Structure 1
Amino acid sequence: MVHIGLDIGTTHIVMTVLDLEQGRLLPAISLANPQFQTGEPYAHAQDPHAIEQAVRTLLGTISSPIASICVTGQVHGILYHDASGSAVSPLYTWLDRRAMEKVDGIDSQQLLYEKTGALLPSGYGLLAHYANRRLNNVPPHATGFCGILEYITGRLVGCVIEKSDPSCLGPFGSFDPITSTFDERVLTEVFGTQEKRFLLASKPFELAGYTSDGVAVTYPVGDNQAGFFGLVSDWPHSALVSMGTSGQISLFSTNTQCPSSMELRPFLGQGYLHVGATLTAGKAYETVHHFIASIIRSAGVEISDEAVFDLMKREGSANGIPGSLTVDTRFNGSRKNPNVRGAISSIQMDNLTLGNLVVGTIDGIVAELYQFGLDSRQVFQQIERVVATGSSVRKNPLFVEALHRNFKLPTTIAQVDDGAGFGAALIGAVATGALSIPQAKSVVGSMIGS
């Protein structure tokens, strides 16, 4: 029997299949998860019905008996559902910016802060619902809302689930990771006259139910925690650096004292992750790619996107001088300050070159993550190795070099298709009793080498 991890990402839906009997991971299978156009300029949305169909298509490719399914992936965003549990709205993702739209002269983020003292980052679920209420954008047939992970889990077990792992509840906003409760003042303001009962915290590794075929389904787990569980075996001495569309650094600790620049996130009942998260990483690199491509194409030269990426890698390797240009890669703001923007500085008469721009951008991406480590100095000083994941570090040696320059620690590149999906599959194995937690860590050490 196999254990399935489903990673519902921002760009792809990935299925990871773990065969414990054979001690192997099958090649991950993925389907695209495109953006859904709502006509709202501030929206970043996706189609939950299409996501569900993609999940069922992926599961339909499995010929072996399935022992467990665990859903992980993108958090923060919300969708609305009816009494039967069917979606009646798009999924408003973590990149959605409706909370920054002004109504009666003030945006929803600022108003919620003035009313409750809680400053929720743009894209967080409770803030998105608050904004939708003010924008008159709550569907009339909606009986509740949840994240995409709760939605897909509920569709798999055939009911609206009333709980979720604390790793998924935190990104809704105003959730205390120590007590596993939401701030009642915020819930009252966000829900208004509506009933303010919301999702409850599940126990670690708790089952949400079973599919119609009798397959065990766990409550969903956030991709950050699932990725750490799947990629790190020595929790106290390893920093997990993830580079996807955004970037994250995760440090394990049993200490609840976390720097204000970082988030304290619950970790499967074992302790906490101190997490520093950026809004751009691969997206910042992609922005520079678009800029370079536009210059080449404006000269009348036809060039593919892949060729531009190859050019950037080549020029960065051959002619990029670390430290020559300083690039602040907060091109889309930060979680704490969505209105801040990036910059290129230290420009001289002879250093504004393609190679320097590429290396400076990559150093800027990594430096933003390294700064979080410095902020969490008490935990960070215990770190002996960096475990890096994401297509950027697997495909582009310039990112690996930047990690070495900034962290000055041994670095392991996780050669696995989807770390969060692998971690989710392991979580399902633990939830069904196929593995203990120490055994799961041993599996990670043998398969990932971390």
Structure 2
Amino acid sequence: MKLIGLDIGTTSLCGVVVDTHTNAIVDQETRLNDASVVGEGPAHLQDASKILSSVQSIVELLVGRHKDVAGVCVSGQMHGILYLDKHGNPVSPLFTWLDRRGNLLCDGNQTYREAFARLTGYDVPAGYGLLTHFVHVQNQEVPRDATVLCTVADYVTAKLANIAHPVTDPTLAASLGVFDLVHSQFDGEALLRAGIVPSMLPTVVPSCTAVGEMADGVQVVTAVGDNQASHIGSVQSLADTLLVNVGTGAQLSLMVPEHVSVPGFETRPFPGNRYLLVGATLGGGKAYALVESFFRQVLDMCGVPANEPLYGAMDRLLRMASEQSANDQSRQRDGGAALGGVTHTTLTVSPQFYGTRTDPSVRGAITNVSEDNFTPLDLMVGVLDGIVVELHQYVQALPTRLQMNIKHLVGAGNAIRKNGYLASVVQDIFGRSLLVPGHREEAAVGAALCAGVGVGAYESFQEAAVDVIDYQWPS
């Protein structure tokens, strides 16, 4: 049989087809997510109906090309919400994970985030759906016809499955906040203290549950969070692999068999009654994009139009520097030459330009600037170093027993895949050989494997991962 995995990203939409007979990814369709809607201030909005239309078009194409599709699963951007009416139709835009209104002052003395934490006992970062909903409740901005809120992946799943009321799995439910991980349910009493009616929330069902069928009989499985889906779609050996994912943001994740709390990490549900420890930063690829934007502005100041992105020129400079560093001790980090000549800089960059999940007021810094390191190359290397160092600090915070259990390091995300130099920096700073999946759409592949478990094509994720995932070094 064949399986379709869909991923609703913030900037792109993708569908892949996995053939369980050949254990290969046999088809892929990718579109730009151009559903952005202009919002006021720190609001970040997208048109959910436009997203649905694009996803349905992808599904129709893939099903049309593959007649033996047995299951479909959607992976999607986590945390964000939209409101639906009793017929399951949107009555609001999608308020995405990038929405920052939860950090605004709500009464002159405290932010919405602080007020929500005081009422519920849960510290929920800005962008998480139930804090966003709290902002709407406080300002009487919940749409009058709204009967339920849900993630965009749950909305698309409901439409594909032809059900009016959305359901959610623990991976997406927990991404909204105020979720009891042990009992796998929303904390209704805490929500009531914040003036939130629990009946506004979707029903929580186990991951990989078949919830309906498409018109042609293809089974539709519950949606899954893109973080968990990316882990499933990247890691062969789930029990002992650390995943470093650098895309728009950056995060580090490690699957654990039982619930555990580690300072600095978020414990998230993982399909199969397991958990995922996640250390997430806000800088990631966005921090490096700021460098590209800065170079573009310099060119504009000089009257030289940049008609295409400058990443190609930046990559060429990094490659030249890497080749030179093999013979230049002044630009080698310890062990750098042995790992392919990763260059170094004395410039120190903290790439927290967008704050942190625990403290949105934190800002980045560039220090130890001298006449010798005030160069474009040093700025690029310093930002890339800073991105990886910030992630590696999470590893150092893990309990020793969890660190000792890590046997493999896998890198995923477009920033690692498209920037071989960044992959080398990850390998250098983490001190381990880096494995990179041979396929590009990790979350969509993970969703396809979830569909496979849901319809019985695979007995476990471990079986599915060993069959489908292979590794290669990025170009």
TM more than 0.5: yes
What is the rounded CA distance, in whole Å, between the counterparts of 2:119 and 2:21 in structure 1?
Answer: 55
One-letter identity of the residue aligned with 1:357: L
Which residues of 2 match residues 424-439 of structure 1 at below 5 A? 424-437=447-460, 438-439=462-463
State the Cα distance separating 1:196 from its structure 2 match. Answer: 4.2
Corresponding residue for residue 356 of structure 1: 378
1:237 corresponding residue in structure 2: 240
The aligned counterpart of 1:368 is 390
Structure 1 position 191, deviation (Å): 4.0
Alignment pair present for 1:30 and 2:33: no
The 3 A distance-change label for structure 1 pair 112 and 49 is: same
**What is the match of residue 115 of structure 1?**
119
SS in 2 for 1:61: helix
The structural deviation recorded for 1:27 is 3.9
Change over 3 Å in CA distance of 1:195–1:433 after alignment to 2: closer
Whole-Å Cα distance in 2 between the matches of residues 254 and 325 of structure 1? 40
Q: Tell whether the 8 Å contact from 1:232 to 1:444 is kept in structure 2 after alignment.
A: no
CA distance in 1, matches of 2:39, 2:171: 31
User: Which amino acid in the other structure matches residue 467 of structure 2?
Assistant: V
8 A Cα contact 1:6 1:72, kept in partner: yes
CA contact (8 A) 1:242 1:388 kept: yes
Conserved 8 A contact 2:171-2:268: yes
Q: Which runs of 5+ in 2 are unaligned?
A: 322-330, 332-342
Indicate yes or no: 2:216 matched with 1:213.
yes
Alpha-carbon distance in structure 2 between the residues aligned to 1:280 and 1:28: 29
Per-residue CA deviations over 1:126-160 (Å, capped at 9, x if unaligned) read 00000112233211111111110110011111223
In structure 2, relative to structure 1, the CA distance for the partners of 1:216 and 1:2 (3 Å cut) is same
Q: Which residue of 2 aligns with 1:408?
A: 431
TM-score normalised by length of structure 1: 0.95
- 2:399 is matched with 377
Secondary structure at the counterpart of residue 76 of structure 1: coil
Rounded Cα–Cα distance in structure 1 between residues aligned with 2:43 and 2:207? 33
1:155-234, aligned counterparts within 5 Å? 155-192=159-196, 194=197, 196=199, 198-234=201-237
Q: Which residue of 2 aligns with 1:443?
A: 467
Cα offset, 1:439, TM superposition:
2.5
Q: Residue 130 of structure 2 aligns with which residue?
A: 126
Structural mapping, 1:299-378, within 5 Å: 299-306=302-309, 308-319=310-321, 321-378=343-400
Between the aligned partners of 2:258 and 2:374, the Cα distance in structure 1 is 44
Number of equivalent positions:
447
Matched letter for residue 183 of structure 1: D
Q: C-alpha separation between the residues in 2 aligned to 1:397 and 1:441? A: 24
Tell me which of 244, 248, 261 is aligned to 2:264.
Answer: 261
Contact 1:88/1:141 (CA < 8 Å) preserved in 2?
yes
Q: In structure 2, what is the equivalent of residue 11 of structure 1? A: 11
Q: Any conservation in 1 of the 2:147–2:200 contact (CA below 8 Å)?
A: no
The alignment partner of 1:219 has SS state of: strand
**TM-score calculated relative to the size of structure 2:** 0.90
Q: What residue number does 2:42 align with?
A: 42
Question: 1:311 is matched by which residue type in structure 2?
Answer: A
Q: 1:72 aligns to what SS in structure 2?
A: strand
- Measured on the aligned residues, the alpha-carbon RMSD in Å equals 1.9
Q: How far 1:228 sits from its partner (Å)?
A: 1.3
Contact 1:317 1:355 in 2 (8 A): no
Contact 1:120 1:127 in 2 (8 A): yes
* 1:195 positional shift: 5.2
1:154 aligns with 2:144: no
| Cα drift, residue 96 of structure 1 | 0.5
SS at match of 2:346: coil
Aligned to 2:337: none
- Aligned-pair identity in percent equals 34
Name the counterpart of 2:84: 81
Of residues 313-322 and 340-349 in structure 1, the stretch that sits farther from structure 2 once superposed is 313-322
Contact 1:170 1:265 in 2 (8 A): yes
1:151-197 deviation per Cα after TM superposition (whole angstroms, max 9, x unaligned): 001111122345321111111002122221222343113444x4546
Taking a change above 3 Å as real, the CA distance of residues 400 and 337 of structure 1, as seen in their structure-2 partners, is: same
Distance 2:38 2:94 in 1: 10
Structure 1 stretches of 5 or more lacking a match?
none
- The residue that corresponds to 1:58 in the other structure is 58
The answer to whether the 8 A contact 1:156-1:211 is kept is yes
Report the equivalent of 1:291: 294
